[in-house]
Amino acid sequence: MSVLDIKDLTVEFPSRKSVFVAVDDVTLSVEAGKVLGVVGESGAGKSTVGNAVIGLLQEPGHIAQGEIYLHGARIDQLPYSEKRRLRGRKIGMIFQDPLTSLDPLQTVESQLVETIRTHLPLSSRAARKRAVELIDAVGIPNPGERVKQYPHQFSGGMRQRVVIALALCAEPELVIADEPTTALDVSIQAQILDLMKRLCEERNVAMMVITHDMGVIADITDHVAVMYQGRLVEYGETRQVLGTPNHAYTQSLISAVPRHDVRVERFPVVNYIEKAGTPQKQIDISTHWLGKVRDYEKVTGPLVQVRDLDMRFETRGSVFPSRRKYFQAVRKVSFDIQEGETFGLVGESGSGKSTIARLITGLYQPSGGSVQFGTTELTSLKNRKEVLAMRRQMQMIFQDPFSSLNARMRVREIIAEPIRFHRLASGNAEVRQIVDDLLDHVGLGAQAGKKFPHEFSGGQRQRISIARALATRPRFLICDEPTSALDVSIQAQILNLLKDLQEELGLTMLFISHDLAVIRQMCNRVGVMRNGDLCEVADCDRLFEAPQHAYTRELLSLMPSLDLLSRANLETV
C-alpha cells in the first residue's frame, strides 16, 4: 500500500517578468517499508518536490497543479495549521546540514523532548526517557550522557544521527531525507545509510531519499526517480534504472559516476548534460604561462619532501606547562611528491589531511619535522620576500568555492588580484588578457569576468577558483576536497579539467579527498591517513587491488557498491 502518492505535481515560482516552473507534471509514489530515491543535478527540482510534500515551499513558490496524498488523504490543500501538525507527527524531515537544523543554544535532550511533547501525549519524564531511547536507537554510544550535550559537541556523523532521531521521535509514517550524507566520510556515510535502511524496515516507514549520489541510490533504494530540469525522465525499480537505463540523461549521470573498481583515463563527456561546461573557445595559455615568470629552479629529486611532520593544537591553556592540554592533529608523517605526479591523501574527517596541506603552504607552523619544496626548506623561511616567492609557486583550491571568493568583487578582479600582487604582468592590458584567457581555458568565457560570484552555480564557482589558482603560474597545486559538494556531472567536468591542466601545464598536485572513487581516478600514488598517522603509501592501483593496512581494507569495504550501475559507457585504460 502506498503511503505517499504524488499526482501530476507542478510547482511554479512567479516573478515580475516570467514564471519559473521548478517541478513540471511529476507523478511518484512511496510504499511502506520501502525507499524511493529521487536523483538529479542541482536545480532538477528534487528538493522542491520534498518541500511541496511537507508544505515548506518558499514564497512566492506554490503548487500550480497536481495532488499530494498521504495514506489516501489529500494533504496539499490543507490549511497551514493542519500542515504544521503533519510535519513531525506524520512526516519527518532529515536535512542536508545538521548544524542548521539543530538549535546550538539547546541541548539535544531539550530539542528532542520539545518535539516529542509537541506531537505525542507524553509527560516530561516519559518524553525524556524516549529521547534517550531514540539516541540509543540511532547508534550514539552512552546515550544517557550524550543526550545532555549541545550540537557542537558532536561530530558531523553524530549530529546527522541526532537529526534522524528528531525525524523519528513522533513515529512518522513518511521520512523525507534531503541529501543526508553529502558531506560525510565513507565510514560515517555507510553507518548512516545502514541506519536509515534498518529503521525503514523495522518500523515499516516509507522513505524518500533526495540525493545526487548514485552510490547512495544503489545502496539503499528500492525504486528510483530521475529528474532533469523539473521533469521526471525515468522511474522504476533501482536495479532496472541503474543497470539498463533507457533515458539519455540517466545514462549520462551513470557514466559520470567515479568508479572505484576500474580506472578510466577521462570521465565520459556526454553532451546531454555537459554542454554548459564546454569551453567557449580553445585558448593556448602557454604563451604567458611558460615564460620567464615560470622559469623555476629545476629539481632532480622529489618536488615536495615531508619529513616527520608533527602538528599539535593547544586545547587548554595554562601558565603551568604541565596543565596544558593538546590535540595531536598530525604525528610523524613523511612522504614525497614527485614533479608532475598527483599524490592523493585520503581518510576520514579529523585524520589530518587538510592540516598537512596548511602546513605545506605555511598557513600553520609545524610543532616538529620539516617540509622541503625543491631545494628550499619551507619551515626555515623567515624573510617575507622569500615566503611570498615560494607561495607563488604553490596554490590551493578549497572545498567551498563560494566562501573562498570575495562576494564584493567581480570575477575579473578576483583572478587579477594575485597577478597584480606578485607583479606578473607589465600593465593592465596584459592583466586583462591573462584573466580572459584563463576564464576561457576553464570553460567560462571572458564575459564571465563582469559578473559576481553569486551569479554562478557551484561548479562554475569552482572553475573560477581554479582560474584564480592558476593566475600565479604555480608549479604545485593543492586540491582540498574540490568536488565533494558537486553533482556527479559537474564533478566529472571539474576532474577532467584538472587532468587536462596537469597534462598541459606540467602541474604537480596534492589531491585531498574522502571520496575513494575520485582518488582512484585522479592519483598516481595515495597516502591513507587515520587519526593523524600515515597508515600506508602505495601506487594507486596497488592500493585498491591489494591494500596492506587493515584500515585501508576497512575503508575500501565501506564504499557504496556500484555493481548495479551500467558499465556501457566506460573505457578502461
Q: What mean pLDDT comes out for the span 40-46?
A: 82
- The reported pLDDT for the residue numbered 278 is 44
List the one residue out of 304, 295, 383 whose CA is nearest residue 342: 304
Distance CA 434, CA 285 (A): 8
Encoded amino acid at 61, one letter: G
The pLDDT, as a whole number, for residue 569 is 46
Q: Give the least confident one: 1-5, 96-100, 345-349.
A: 96-100
DSSP bridge pairs for 210: 38, 178
pTM of the model: 0.75
End-to-end alpha carbon distance in the chain:
47
Which residue has better confidence, 58 or 371? 371
Look at residue 5 and tell me whether its pLDDT is greater than 60.
Answer: yes
Taking a C-beta distance cutoff of 8 angstroms, is the pair 294, 392 a contact?
Answer: no
pLDDT value at position 291?
A: 53
1-90+174-255 adopts what CATH topology? Rossmann fold (3.40.50)
For residue 571, pLDDT beyond 80: no
Q: What is the mean pLDDT of residues 187-195?
A: 78
How far is Cα 521 from Cα 123, in angstroms, rounded to an integer? 55
Q: How far apart are CA 526 and CA 394, in angstroms?
A: 20
- pLDDT digit string, tens, across residues 276-322: 444 444 555 555 555 545 567 777 889 999 999 999 888 777 777 77
SS3 category, 256: coil
Using DSSP's 3-state secondary structure scheme, residue 119 falls into helix
Tell me: pLDDT of 121 over 80. Answer: yes
Q: CATH topology of 1-90+174-255 equal to that of 294-407+474-557? A: yes
Question: Cα angle vertex 218, ends 66, 548, to 5°?
Answer: 155
Instruction: Tell me: pLDDT of 70 over 80.
Output: yes
**Which residues on adjacent β-strands are paired with residue 396?**
478
Average pLDDT estimate for 241-250: 89
CB-based contacts of 499, cutoff 8 Å, min separation 6: 266, 522
Euclidean distance between CA atoms 12 and 64, whole angstroms: 6
Per-residue cell: 501? 591542466
Domain 294-407+474-557 belongs in CATH node 3.40.50.300? yes
The full set of domain ranges for the chain reads 1-90+174-255, 98-171, 294-407+474-557
Mean pLDDT over each residue of the chain, to the nearest integer: 85
Query: Could you tell me the pLDDT band of residue 219, with boundaries at 50, 70 and 90?
Result: confident
